[in-house]
Chain A
């Protein structure tokens, strides 16, 4: 029989639109407007999942986003999502969902053994059991990870599209219940820009489920009128199915809008979800409150749910969760649900923890044939897969004991109500302070942060009429503060049959078994935390609320304790006999509810994950089959394989071409900074370690920059272009860092220096030609006289190259005769192609970064960030020659005489020659004095660069070696991961052309 628990009429589902879905592989039918939870209950499916730790049978506890139990695996394949609340899933045709945390099935779950064995799984079980011995942790972890967790992540790539939207407005209202709607009206009528957010598909909140009247009219009609008016206001944006996830400083909110989640088909035009990033001048929180469970023995069986949830299933979905219902309450308001159930034909028995109930209610109950047990408690429940019987007994509250006969009642549904807790999570995220209200027995907002209001039951205001008036006024006032004038408030009157009264917070109900002896009074349903666990944590000294949380895991998990937190705190208060205020509460952090990572990433995935920077010559590299390397965001040619060459062969060919004839490198990615102003030389003197005052116009100089700790952080060649005009180059990866460094000192330390820095990295294409034939080659293409006498090494000239005005720098990173030709970026590819064409007779060979690295290593030139790691001074790098002794001050100078930097045993930059002339050491290898079978071994240093040198025909390496300069010629050992130990000889860092004749040609 389908929909056997559906009432004959009522609810807002469309009974003309049946929807087919499957749960755990079985087919069911629901109606348009159902949630998965309501459709399951309608089909008499109550067992929907197994609990986290004990694998206990669990049903549907709530009807909203606070649901701890009914979390399911939704969808299959790449779109599958774990831990989705069945109470929030709108039913769509073809929906497939399954229970989690059970094997082989939810009805017969092997893991349920944990429940029988629960005596050996107390709070802190993992901490206590798997702590020793430490070396075993990796072994334990494997099995623990297998057993832990709830749902399954998809293994395939997510095919959905997610979008982000930035939104700026005057006022954002979170929650479109009665308070939120009225606040929106109060502000919206003034014309200010309002955003109204609600997580449900329908506006109206809790009052959609209860009978009430406003200004003596039917409340539901009234909600519709307000909604219609708001829909007509162009300045009001309403977002349904949208959950406010984060509330950060300065009224910055994030919200997740489910755009097509509830559609059966993937949309071609709409994203699945949209992530809103909202910045508002004012914010109103109107999120309402969550009903509090009662903590009694075995209060977790399927069929036990919150009274308000029962009300919602009945009123909204036309689903009667039980026919023989027990309402367990400590307050008046829940009686509304008893009446509603009786009206639909259910038999209702009320168990009230209080000694007296007011006459109005008592009389009505008599007329409806509802029996009330006053001052009673449920002491035990029965039923494996659904509750079928309870036992109850009278409670003597003064003595704290059960008295009288044990009675028992057959039932198929328990509705419980322990009072209400304002949903203060977002408020708390925004740093609003909470206080414990002794009347309401819950935490309510205390101190607000700037430009924020919190209203309605979210603020502890449970009186309908007061609520109506305060809410409108809140919207009105905030609009007014922003100079928008709205329609003044009119006086609203509102009636509910039973209003909210205060209710006690009850740490736990007495049960048949003593609570401290492991009776299962669940506080946190999702994490299987019982009252006994809280007792245990206190006994074992985890008394701070944050410790109790972590030790017992109460308040963790996907629901973050929305239903459990206050009960846990009340129990701690009871145990320590201290007011809840003094117990405090844990910190709420975003997100408010679980959210997809996809939405946070938005469109910043795949190609759009990170920008790619390409030189103007990039297309040519692609066309010529370059293999690329990422250098920061830059794409740089790594090498250019020819005829199926491997990397080694290509690099070898490229290296030899440069050494023998002519190579060309696209060096456009080098950082370039244009420096101008009368104090530039003075400034460079402070920034670089060497002297700059005497540099002639048209000359280039290599410089090293150190930070104030004396450590190298960048290097490059700077050229004096004019009287007060310099061109600085930096490493490719360090360009932005250097720019920022220069600006820092100009703007914060030397405000009187007249220097302007401009990044020109992308303005110039840099074609570096290198090799003994570079002069004869270039001379044919330029009007600059390239003769040795006219244009010596480390000089700069301007002139025409291939008809383009160019800056030519005679500097070398390869050790060969070399020219760096800079042309405006738009001509880069043109000039490059001209070079390739005219260079044919010299076998011009394009080379990539790997060849560049090998060639510079043969010359012992450092690469900052590879050979140095932020802990090396120029002296460590054997570059004393670049540290001025004459300059009184420069950045880092003072640190060169710190006790640590003058330690004689510091690591120094050396070369290594591998004795077997074959092994290319892995970079990063450790150098040791004595090779042992396994670590620890005394480490002397490490290999920073290592290559096979085609020029020399054997491997070379550069290394940082303790006291390296005094070890020249000594033998060192390099143990590899494979167990092999390589022998090497410490050498000079310059392996090729030690006199530096070649670049001086």
Chain B
């Protein structure tokens, strides 16, 4: 059970949040112009790394804001939380 540092509210218990899968999956600017394969990638293909993962979370039972989380899937340590629109952070060495 994590403690998650909501960028808007501070540290809260995981029960207040929902995870929504991988972050930084941009919706194609012009969907009508992408191929079926590109559209399929956007819809269905996600990373499942052992190690650092970027994911989207919402603080449902709180401020209801969406934000991004950098989490190590091996240790479950949350390295960083950051607001939507902010760039993907560098993966720290070790």
Query: What are 11 A-B residue pairs whose CB atoms fall within 8 Å in the complex?
Result: A249-B1, A249-B2, A450-B77, A743-B64, A743-B66, A748-B56, A748-B66, A749-B27, A889-B31, A894-B34, A898-B40
Q: Identify the B interface with A (CB < 8 A).
A: 1-3, 13, 20, 27-28, 30-32, 34, 36, 39-40, 42-43, 56, 58, 60, 64-66, 75-77, 84-85
Within 8 A of B (CB), among A438-486: 449-450
- B64 to chain A: which residues have CB within 8 Å? 743
**Taking the nearest CB of chain A, how far is it from the CB of B28, in angstroms?**
8
**Taking the nearest CB of chain A, how far is it from the CB of B13, in angstroms?**
7
Say yes or no for A893: interface residue by CB 8 A criterion.
yes
B30 close to A889 (CB less than 8 A):
yes
Q: Which residue of A lies closest to B33 (CB)?
A: A894
- In the bound assembly, the distance between CA atoms of A250 and B76 in angstroms comes to 9
**Taking the nearest CB of chain B, how far is it from the CB of A896, in angstroms?**
11
**Taking the nearest CB of chain A, how far is it from the CB of B42, in angstroms?**
8
- B30 to chain A: which residues have CB within 8 Å? 888-889
- In the bound assembly, the distance between CA atoms of A893 and B39 in angstroms comes to 11
Say yes or no for A744: interface residue by CB 8 A criterion.
yes
Within 8 A of B (CB), among A895-950: 895, 897-899
Say yes or no for A267: interface residue by CB 8 A criterion.
no
Q: Which residue of A lies closest to B31 (CB)?
A: A894
Per-residue interface assignment for chain A, residues 735 to 746, with 1 indicating a CB less than 8 Å from any chain B CB and 0 otherwise: 000001001100
A708 close to B32 (CB less than 8 A):
no
Q: Which residue of A lies closest to B13 (CB)?
A: A279
Say yes or no for A997: interface residue by CB 8 A criterion.
no
- A709 to chain B: which residues have CB within 8 Å? 43
A898 close to B39 (CB less than 8 A):
yes
- In the bound assembly, the distance between CA atoms of A215 and B65 in angstroms comes to 59
- In the bound assembly, the distance between CA atoms of A888 and B29 in angstroms comes to 11
**Taking the nearest CB of chain B, how far is it from the CB of A894, in angstroms?**
4
B43's partner among A748, A751, A895 (CB-CB below 8 A) is A895
- A744 to chain B: which residues have CB within 8 Å? 20, 58, 66
B32 close to A889 (CB less than 8 A):
yes
Say yes or no for A638: interface residue by CB 8 A criterion.
no
- A279 to chain B: which residues have CB within 8 Å? 3, 13
B65's partner among A747, A897, A898 (CB-CB below 8 A) is A747
**Taking the nearest CB of chain A, how far is it from the CB of B94, in angstroms?**
14
Per-residue interface assignment for chain A, residues 675 to 713, with 1 indicating a CB less than 8 Å from any chain B CB and 0 otherwise: 000000000000000000000000000000000110000
Q: Which residue of A lies closest to B60 (CB)?
A: A740
Interface contacts beyond A250-B3, A751-B84: sample of 14 additional A-B pairs, CB < 8 Å, sorted by A? A250-B1, A279-B3, A708-B42, A740-B58, A743-B64, A744-B66, A747-B65, A748-B66, A888-B32, A889-B30, A889-B31, A893-B32, A894-B31, A898-B39
B84 close to A248 (CB less than 8 A):
no
- In the bound assembly, the distance between CA atoms of A449 and B76 in angstroms comes to 11
Say yes or no for A252: interface residue by CB 8 A criterion.
yes
Say yes or no for A262: interface residue by CB 8 A criterion.
no
Which 9 residue pairs spanning A and B have beta carbons closest together? Answer: A894-B31, A747-B66, A252-B1, A250-B3, A248-B1, A249-B76, A748-B66, A894-B39, A748-B84
Per-residue interface assignment for chain A, residues 715 to 748, with 1 indicating a CB less than 8 Å from any chain B CB and 0 otherwise: 0000000000000000000000000100110011
- In the bound assembly, the distance between CA atoms of A743 and B18 in angstroms comes to 13
- In the bound assembly, the distance between CA atoms of A449 and B77 in angstroms comes to 10
- In the bound assembly, the distance between CA atoms of A491 and B43 in angstroms comes to 65
**Taking the nearest CB of chain A, how far is it from the CB of B6, in angstroms?**
13
Q: How large is the interface on A (under 10, 10 to 19, 20 to 34, 35 or more residues)?
A: 20 to 34
Say yes or no for A431: interface residue by CB 8 A criterion.
yes
**Taking the nearest CB of chain B, how far is it from the CB of A463, in angstroms?**
32
B85 close to A751 (CB less than 8 A):
yes
- In the bound assembly, the distance between CA atoms of A641 and B84 in angstroms comes to 53
- A248 to chain B: which residues have CB within 8 Å? 1
- In the bound assembly, the distance between CA atoms of A740 and B13 in angstroms comes to 20
**Taking the nearest CB of chain B, how far is it from the CB of A604, in angstroms?**
13
A898 close to B36 (CB less than 8 A):
yes
- In the bound assembly, the distance between CA atoms of A747 and B64 in angstroms comes to 10
Q: Which residue of A lies closest to B1 (CB)?
A: A252
- In the bound assembly, the distance between CA atoms of A385 and B58 in angstroms comes to 62
- B60 to chain A: which residues have CB within 8 Å? 740
- A249 to chain B: which residues have CB within 8 Å? 1-2, 76
- In the bound assembly, the distance between CA atoms of A747 and B43 in angstroms comes to 19
- In the bound assembly, the distance between CA atoms of A899 and B39 in angstroms comes to 12
- In the bound assembly, the distance between CA atoms of A450 and B78 in angstroms comes to 12
- In the bound assembly, the distance between CA atoms of A743 and B64 in angstroms comes to 8
Per-residue interface assignment for chain A, residues 18 to 56, with 1 indicating a CB less than 8 Å from any chain B CB and 0 otherwise: 000000000000000000000000000000000000000
Contact A899-B75, Cβ < 8 Å, known A250-B3, A747-B65, A889-B30 = no
**Taking the nearest CB of chain A, how far is it from the CB of B3, in angstroms?**
5
B36 close to A899 (CB less than 8 A):
yes
- In the bound assembly, the distance between CA atoms of A744 and B56 in angstroms comes to 10
- In the bound assembly, the distance between CA atoms of A35 and B85 in angstroms comes to 62
**Taking the nearest CB of chain B, how far is it from the CB of A873, in angstroms?**
14
- A449 to chain B: which residues have CB within 8 Å? 75
Contact A708-B3, Cβ < 8 Å, known A748-B84, A888-B32, A889-B30 = no
Q: Which residue of B lies closest to A745 (CB)?
A: B27
- A894 to chain B: which residues have CB within 8 Å? 28, 31-32, 34, 39
**Taking the nearest CB of chain A, how far is it from the CB of B30, in angstroms?**
7
**Taking the nearest CB of chain B, how far is it from the CB of A307, in angstroms?**
39
- A252 to chain B: which residues have CB within 8 Å? 1
Looking at A708, A740, A894, the one whose CB has the most chain B CB atoms below 10 A away is A894
- In the bound assembly, the distance between CA atoms of A248 and B20 in angstroms comes to 22
**Taking the nearest CB of chain A, how far is it from the CB of B86, in angstroms?**
11
- B1 to chain A: which residues have CB within 8 Å? 248-250, 252
Q: Which residue of B lies closest to A890 (CB)?
A: B31
- In the bound assembly, the distance between CA atoms of A897 and B43 in angstroms comes to 14
**Taking the nearest CB of chain A, how far is it from the CB of B46, in angstroms?**
13
Q: Which residue of A lies closest to B20 (CB)?
A: A744
Q: Which residue of B lies closest to A892 (CB)?
A: B31
Q: Which residue of B lies closest to A893 (CB)?
A: B31
- In the bound assembly, the distance between CA atoms of A816 and B34 in angstroms comes to 45
Within 8 A of B (CB), among A274-318: 279
- In the bound assembly, the distance between CA atoms of A895 and B36 in angstroms comes to 9
B43 close to A708 (CB less than 8 A):
yes
- In the bound assembly, the distance between CA atoms of A449 and B74 in angstroms comes to 12
- In the bound assembly, the distance between CA atoms of A743 and B59 in angstroms comes to 12
- B84 to chain A: which residues have CB within 8 Å? 747-748, 751
- In the bound assembly, the distance between CA atoms of A743 and B28 in angstroms comes to 19
- A898 to chain B: which residues have CB within 8 Å? 36, 39-40
Looking at A279, A748, A895, the one whose CB has the most chain B CB atoms below 10 A away is A748
**Taking the nearest CB of chain A, how far is it from the CB of B77, in angstroms?**
8
- In the bound assembly, the distance between CA atoms of A977 and B81 in angstroms comes to 54
- B43 to chain A: which residues have CB within 8 Å? 708-709, 895
**Taking the nearest CB of chain B, how far is it from the CB of A483, in angstroms?**
18
- In the bound assembly, the distance between CA atoms of A249 and B3 in angstroms comes to 8
Q: Which residue of B lies closest to A709 (CB)?
A: B43
Within 8 A of B (CB), among A226-268: 248-250, 252
Q: Which residue of B lies closest to A889 (CB)?
A: B31
- B65 to chain A: which residues have CB within 8 Å? 747
**Taking the nearest CB of chain A, how far is it from the CB of B50, in angstroms?**
15
Q: Which residue of B lies closest to A254 (CB)?
A: B1
- A250 to chain B: which residues have CB within 8 Å? 1-3
Per-residue interface assignment for chain A, residues 743 to 773, with 1 indicating a CB less than 8 Å from any chain B CB and 0 otherwise: 1100111010000000000000000000000
- In the bound assembly, the distance between CA atoms of A155 and B85 in angstroms comes to 56
- A895 to chain B: which residues have CB within 8 Å? 39, 43
Q: Which residue of B lies closest to A707 (CB)?
A: B43
Q: Which residue of B lies closest to A248 (CB)?
A: B1
- A450 to chain B: which residues have CB within 8 Å? 77
